[in-house]
Structure 1
Amino acid sequence: KRVRMLEERLADTKGRLTQAVSQNERLTTMLRDAREHIGSLREEVEKLTQPPSGYGTVLGCNDDGTVDVRAGGRKMRVAVHPELADDLKAGEEVALNESFSVVLARRPDRTGEVATVKELLPGGDRAVVLGRADEERVVELSAVVSAEPIRSGDNVLIDASGDLVIERLPRPEVEDLILEEVPDTCYDDVGGLAAQIEQITDAVELPFVHHTLFAEYDLPAPKGVLLYGPPGCGKTLIAKAVANSLAGKVSELSGDARARSFFLNIKGPELLNKYVGETERQIRLVFQRAREKSEQGWPVIVFFDEMESLFRTRGSGISSDIESTIVPQLLAEIDGVEALRNVIVIGASNREDLIDPAILRPGRLDVKIKIERPDAEAAASIFARYLIPSLPIAAEMVDTVGGGDPDKAVRGMIEQTVEDMYRPADPNRFLEVTYQNGDKEVMYYRDFASGAMIENVVRRAKKLAIKREIAGGARGIMTADLLASVRQEFKEHEDLPNTTNPDDWARISGKKGERIVFVRTLVSSDEEDAASGGRSIERVQTGQYL
């Protein structure tokens, strides 16, 4: 009985012991949680009670492991956290603790004042910049900027202290005006201009390809080439082909696959600016870019399209006389004190008579190449560029004209179209012009043919073939489509510009000689026009130039 009592007491004691152990574990867990919570609260309190960290800009690193920083307008030498000592560079932003030690590195600040580099100082680590109100000051270049070539005229970002350049900015006003990429146009894409291509090749490519031979003969390369002629005859196309061909020749001769030429395509009218001196400044920047590119020994082509819009004859009174300062700026760039090496200027214009004579004299634009309107042979060559055997050609044409050969069929279609377009017959009469001396001359379709017009004729023929096939007709292009397209092309151009000076229109169209005082269209659209012999340009709506 006593043993049973002792066993019961033992079991009860074990139960209370187990309960006490469980309670002890709960208390231990609660204490641990409380300790952790107290610790996190302590950390938060410490963070909230810490003094603020200042930010500074690294100016340079020292041999003793310290760095020079500028913070709050003060320049200081401070200690660096050991893990950051090897990674800091001038221009980076860092965080400083209460004892002004560097404890954190951040990316450079992306805000600040924009300035323009005027010149680099000897040593390459400092530069003179122009800030607000054209104030000059000397600044240091950060390590990030020093890795990139800084040139005069570049826009740079200066940190808040105003003493350190932290970023090189793009120059949008120049980038928008210049296309540096080499075009993919080649000489094979230019039809009917073999003689002109040979002329410009001799002027542009030979001096660069055979520069040693030219040096032996003491013959300098021409500084410029003027391509002039009626609109749509291939002036811009030839300039692009020259740049492409020159890039290939340079790469072939140097053996360097990276070798290339640069084609700076200047959008001429966009250079004009209402603020005095802005246009001249942008011209300077264009030629400065050309000099920088040519320093590598690779040729640079500066192409001015629509050249007469920028460089008109000074004092002519035709425009606002802004060219009185623009023309001298171009002349100074072409043959000024800073010589142009490996740089050639190519200009294109359909009103060469408006360009200032000082630009056209020998020593500036040395070579003048006239891009004539295509004759029958050249027109056939241009047609062959756009009307190719791989296009859907009507089976009737292949059988009747080509004898089953698509190539022969295309050649026959082109011959028929060109023969019809260039025939001096009454259906091809287009204009009657009256000269100042009273003489009259009838002008035919062939007198206004151009490469652009021929390309558009082929496009019209393709569209006619597509519409016929959609309507359930015969598939493929026919000679009739080409002939109808020629008629429609000139029919749309019968409404010439309603101008009080027909001579201006004639000069743009490529007609030179005696002054033209009256123009009458001979393309009749109905019986009334046919009976009256056409319409006067003074009585028609404004259309587009040929």
Structure 2
Amino acid sequence: PPSAYGVVVGKNDDGTVDVLTSGRKMRVNLHPDIDVDTLARGAEVVLNESFNVVTARSPEGAGDVVSIKEVLDDGVRAIVVGRTDEEIVCELADSLRGVHLRSGDTVRLDPRSHLLLEKLPRPEIEDLLLEEVPDISYSDIGGLDSQIEQIADAVELPFLYQDLFAEHALPAPKGILLYGPPGCGKTLIAKAVANSLAKKVASKTGDEKGRSYFINIKGPELLNKYVGETERQIRLVFQRAREKSEEGWPVIVFFDEMDSMFRTRGTGISSDMESTIVPQLLAEIDGVEGLRNVIVIGATNREDLIDPAILRPGRLDVKIKIERPTEAAARQIFARYLTTDIPIDADEVSSSGDPELAVSRMIDATVESMYRTDEENRFLEVTYANGDKEVLFYRDFSSGAMIENVVRRAKKLAIKRVIAGGSRGVRTQDLLDSIRQEFREHEDLPNTTNPDDWAKISGKKGERIVFIRTLVNEGRSSLGVAGGRAIERSATGQYL
């Protein structure tokens, strides 16, 4: 005859068990070979035609996913929130007794017995937490020594010398804003901070397991189409940060492209979600529940779009501008990517007498070519609202990312030359040709729809720009047109 399945929901002193089967709760006997103590609440059992337990099995692996709202004082029941936001009181299966459950945890629910069977990972938040901090050090960053010193003072000193800060009644900064043009090292600095802090904590405490935690939020990845969901995820991020900081180690919460989430309230066109997202962040940073050993770092290239309440002292206290690299900084950045570890052309080495000197000369020639303010390097003519005009050169748009790309292009040219049967190694001419290729690709990139907003993203501040004209020299124009290519005038409206 067929056998029925049931779920154990309770055990009794007389050796019987309570089983839920086919929607009915029944008190049944056990087969003599089954010890009642081996049956856990939530276990699945097989019943014979007399409704006696004849076989015990592990619980099913399927069920509903719900989140914990609150664990009740008795420790055996919890209030959970289901798919339609309904709240249910459920019992904990034996497998969850003694497991630390907190608000927001996701668990698996058996809808038949209303037993919570298993704690599930929270990918929406756990994926943001990098258990191993990024393997990037300050030495990997070139040309930003003063900015690195500023951020190290703001992040590392308050944690490493807590007693001195307490003695002077000086609270640690709660947040840092890194702002500046794209590709200049903002994200790189944040990663290096986490790595440096972890190493210094280990050295200071003498604990080889000393570490820091890095919660990385990539721009708008927390945004959600459902009302209130983004705010909930922000709460979960900071709840996780507080839990990790209770271990005694510093936690960095990094918001990349911060302007995408925390825009000035009231500036939205299609929605006003900023009106609730921004207050949620403000409440987390300096609300009733304080942040200890947690620091927020934001990176953006449109700091003018971020809500002013976030930027005030006491929230993002320290504001560090990451400038475009100067000539000296460009040399340092080139030196990070162009080293003697890669093949250098034999003629370059022989003419310099030493590989390191050859690389240094190649870098000098490349930087000098990039930063010249001659006719060949003229890029744009901008017209300001007051009628003034200014010529901008390619040097005004250089960045660490551009320099890295120039070196990559040069390496690719050297590889293609070897494949074609030519000489081995990178040459100065490869670098110079790569610069020209990079510049040519930039000629069509200025945003002509709204020149003023394009200028703000590019790091050009000051008087409003109303007109842009690219200056394409005759020798470099693929169309052979001299004198430049005018761009249509357009009214500067709301940035979309």
TM-score, normalising length: structure 1 = 0.83
> Which of 265-274 and 508-517 deviates more?
265-274
The one of 101, 116, 119 aligned to 1:150 = 101
Aligned counterpart, 1:166: 117
Map residues 488-507 of structure 1 onto 2, 5 A cutoff: 488-507=437-456
Residue in 1 that maps onto 2:424: 475
Q: Report how far residue 525 of structure 1 moved.
A: 5.2
User: What does residue 314 of structure 2 align with?
Assistant: 363
Residue 488 of structure 2: which of 538, 541, 544 is its match?
Answer: 538
Question: Percent same amino acid at aligned positions?
Answer: 70
Q: Return 357-366 or 87-96, whichever deviates more.
A: 87-96
Q: Distance in 2 between matches of 1:260 and 1:65?
A: 51
Residue type of the partner of 1:195?
A: S
Aligned counterpart in structure 1 of residue 133 of structure 2, from 182, 188, 200: 182
SS at match of 1:133: coil
In the alignment, structure 1 residue 438 sits paired with structure 2 residue 387: yes
Q: Tell me the secondary structure at the aligned position of residue 385 of structure 1.
A: helix
In structure 1, C-alpha distance between the alignment counterparts of 2:261 and 2:72, rounded to whole Å: 35
Tell me the residue number matched to 1:194.
145
Cα separation, 2, equivalents of 1:157 and 1:326: 29
- Give 1:249-398 correspondences, 5 Å limit: 249-317=200-268, 320-398=271-349
Counterpart amino acid of residue 165 in structure 2: F
Contact 2:28 2:52 in 1 (8 A): no
Partner of 2:5: 55
1:486 alignment partner in structure 2: 435
How far 1:177 moved relative to its partner?
Answer: 5.5
Task: Give how far 1:439 is off.
Answer: 1.4
CA pair 88-256 structure 1, distance change in 2 beyond 3 A: farther
Return the alpha-carbon distance in structure 1 between the equivalents of residues 470 and 172 of structure 2: 46
1:420-470 residue CA offsets vs partner (Å, 9 max, x unmatched): 222222222222211111111111222111000000000011111112222
Query: Which stretches in structure 2 are left out of the alignment for 5+ residues?
Result: 490-496
Quote the Cα distance in structure 2 between the aligned partners of 1:210 and 1:61: 56
The answer to whether the 8 Å contact 2:331/2:363 transfers is: yes
Q: Mean Cα displacement is larger for which, 288-297 or 301-310?
A: 288-297
Amino acid at match of 1:171: R
d(CA) in 2 for partners of 1:180, 1:372: 31
Task: Report SS of the residue matched to 1:538.
Answer: coil
- Take 2:52 and 2:292, find their aligned partners in 1: how far apart are those partners? 53
Residues 1:417 and 1:57: Cα distance change in structure 2 (over 3 Å): same
Distance 1:386 1:102, change over 3 A: same
Amino acid at match of 2:470: T
Deviation at 1:54, TM superposition (A): 3.4
SS in 2 for 1:458: helix
Identify the match of residue 408 of structure 2 among 448, 459, 473.
Answer: 459
Aligned counterparts of 2:365 and 2:185: Cα–Cα separation in 1: 24
Aligned counterpart in structure 1 of residue 55 of structure 2, from 101, 104, 110:
104
**1:521, 1:146 → 2: CA distance?**
69
Contact in 1 for aligned 2:472/2:482 (Cα 8 Å): no
Task: Quote the Cα distance in structure 2 between the aligned partners of 1:132 and 1:440.
Answer: 60
Q: CA deviation at 1:79?
A: 4.2
Q: What CA distance in whole angstroms lies between the structure 2 residues aligned with 1:516 and 1:228?
A: 21
Specify the alignment match of 1:41 in structure 2.
none
Aligned counterpart, 2:493 = none
Give the distance between the partners of 1:75 and 1:253, measured in 2 at CA: 62
Q: 1:427 aligns with which of 376, 399, 402?
A: 376
Distance 2:260 2:35 in 1: 59
Deviation at 1:135, TM superposition (A): 2.3
Give distance in 2, aligned partners of 1:353 and 1:67. 66
Q: What's 1:208 paired with? A: 159
Structure 1 residues 78 and 364, CA gap change in structure 2 (3 angstroms) = farther
Post-superposition CA distance 1:352-390 (Å, at most 9, x none): 001000000011111101000011111111101110101
Count how many residue pairs are aligned between Structure 1 and Structure 2: 487
User: Can you give the 5+ residue segments of structure 1 that lack an aligned partner in the other structure?
Assistant: 1-47, 540-546
Q: Distance in 1 between matches of 2:31 and 2:211?
A: 47
Distance in 1, Cα, partners of 2:223 & 2:249: 29
CA contact (8 A) 1:498 1:538 kept: no
The partner residue of 1:450 within 396, 399, 414 is: 399
**In the alignment, what sits opposite 1:88?**
39
* Distance in 2, Cα, partners of 1:521 & 1:134: 56
Q: What is the alpha-carbon distance in structure 2 between the residues aligned to residue 239 and residue 362 of structure 1?
A: 20
Instruction: Provide the secondary structure at the position in 2 that maps to 1:382.
Output: helix
How many angstroms does 1:142 deviate by? 1.6
- Match in the other structure for 1:135: 86
Secondary structure at 2:339's aligned position in 1? coil
Q: Shift in Å at residue 178 of structure 1?
A: 5.4
Q: What is the Cα deviation at residue 74 of structure 1? A: 1.2
Deviates most, 524-533 or 334-343: 524-533
Are the counterparts in 2 of residues 227 and 368 from structure 1 also a CA contact under 8 Å?
yes
Over 3 Å counting, the alpha-carbon distance change for 1:319 and 1:250 in structure 2 is farther
Deviation at 1:92, TM superposition (A): 1.7
In structure 2, C-alpha distance between the alignment counterparts of 1:264 and 1:368, rounded to whole Å: 20
Match of 1:236 in 2: 187
In 2: Cα distance, 1:107 partner to 1:68 partner: 16
| Deviation of the 1:87 alpha carbon | 3.1
CA distance in 2, matches of 1:191, 1:465: 24
Higher helix share: 1
Q: Residue in 2 aligned with 1:27?
A: none
Q: Which has the larger radius of gyration?
A: 1
Residue deviations 1:214-268, cap 9 Å, x none?
2222222111110000000000001111111122223333444444221111122
Question: What residue number does 1:223 align with?
Answer: 174
- Match of 1:230, SS? coil
> Aligned partner of 2:179: which letter?
Y
CA contact (8 A) 2:258 2:298 kept: yes
- In structure 1, distance between residues paired with 2:253 and 2:32: 53
Letter in 2 for 1:443: L
Structure 2 Cα separation of the partners of residues 80 and 188 of structure 1 = 70
Matched with 1:42 is none
Which secondary structure state, in structure 2, belongs to the residue aligned with residue 391 of structure 1? Answer: coil
